Amino acid sequence: MNKTVFKVASLGSGSKGNGTLVSAGSTNLLIDCGFTVKETLKRFAALEFSPQSLSAILVTHEHQDHIKGAGALSRRFNIPVFTTQGTFLSGKIGECDFRAISPFQHFSIDKLMVEAFSVPHDAREPCQFVLQYNDKRLAVVSDLGSITQPIIEKMQSCHALLLEMNHDYEMLMTGVYPMSLKRRVGGKLGHLNNQQSIELLKQLDFDRLELMVATHLSEQNNCPRIVESLLAETFENKAIVYKVANQEQGLDWIELAT
């Protein structure tokens, strides 16, 4: 009897496009599709993944780097799209097999349990997700400008995290962005900076945590070397695997022990 493998991969992560694949046996979910269909299929192929095996697309919010190809991919392969009413009403998905969800709703898609939860971000009705297979829990969390107690509680119970480490605050504030954009990115409805993410991690149970993937790094205002150094310091002497997902290659499949 074949053992079901619970695994995760990134198609790419950053301001130019985001997509995360989560798989448990025959159940395959794509969280966000911020690339064109052509580019998405190219990235699927690099991961040896077939779009025909997708069970559903989950969309976190309507910003282009998360939603660009979601509607077209759904229509081409007849895949249901799970997202909030607010995100759908943005009109950026178009006609599709739309399944409305609400923040803090729990639901199942085949073998995977899904928990949506609200995050502070400058979108209509943004949410992020925790996915569970058997007793293993994976949180996919990006595009939030601040940390709330419910977010900490969701992540506290997880064995694996894909967590935004968007920018180095100093690099953002001294960089080339206009001040209005600096305020948006660094604001309470923007994106987490490195230090915010590290402070969040320090509130979690390191005895439970097995994997941490830093995501949504800004190419202008962050550096993988800085992020890796912060994670190495945070997880010193801990049996926690840490990685950085990048914009061009994303991250290859990682199996979660079940």
Q: What pLDDT digit, counting tens, does each position of 19-41 carry?
A: 999 999 999 999 999 999 999 99
For residue 108, count CB atoms less than 10 angstroms from its CB and return exposed for 0-12, middle for 13-18, buried for 19 or more: exposed
Which residues, 6 or more positions from 56, have their beta carbon under 8 angstroms from its beta carbon? 29, 30, 79, 80, 81, 82, 99, 109
Contact 18, 32 (CB under 8 A): yes
Average pLDDT score over the chain = 97
For residue 113, count CB atoms less than 10 angstroms from its CB and return exposed for 0-12, middle for 13-18, buried for 19 or more: middle
CATH superfamily of the domain spanning 6-249: Ribonuclease Z/Hydroxyacylglutathione hydrolase-like (3.60.15.10)
Query: Biggest alpha carbon distance in the chain?
Result: 58
pTM for the full predicted model: 0.97
Instruction: State percent of the chain over pLDDT 90.
Output: 97
pLDDT for residue 14 is more than 90: yes
Backbone dihedral angles phi then psi of residue 29, each to the nearest 5 degrees: -115, 140
Strands 6-12 and 19-24: antiparallel
**Per-residue pLDDT averaged across 127-156, rounded?**
96
The token pair at 229 is 């150094």
**Residue 241 — pLDDT band, cuts 50, 70, 90?**
very high
Q: Which of 230, 223, 162, 153 is nearest to 196 (CA)?
A: 230
How far apart are the C-alpha atoms of 7 and 254, rounded to whole Å?
A: 5
CA distances (Å), 20 to each of 1, 17, 23, 74, 195, in order?
Answer: 28, 11, 10, 15, 24
Backbone dihedral angles phi then psi of residue 79, each to the nearest 5 degrees: -110, 130
Domain ranges in the chain? 6-249
Q: What pLDDT digit, counting tens, does each position of 75-131 carry?
A: 999 999 999 999 999 999 999 999 999 998 999 999 999 999 999 999 999 999 999
Beta-bridge partners for 113: 108, 132
Q: Which of 155, 130, 142, 125 is nearest to 62 (CA)?
A: 125
pLDDT on residue 2: 66
pLDDT on residue 27: 98
Query: Mapping DSSP to helix (H, G, I), strand (E, B) and coil, where does residue 17 land?
Result: coil
pLDDT for residue 1 is more than 70: no
pLDDT on residue 4: 86
Q: Where does residue 196 fall: left (phi above 0), alpha (psi -120 to 50 degrees), or beta otherwise?
A: alpha
pLDDT for residue 257 is more than 90: no
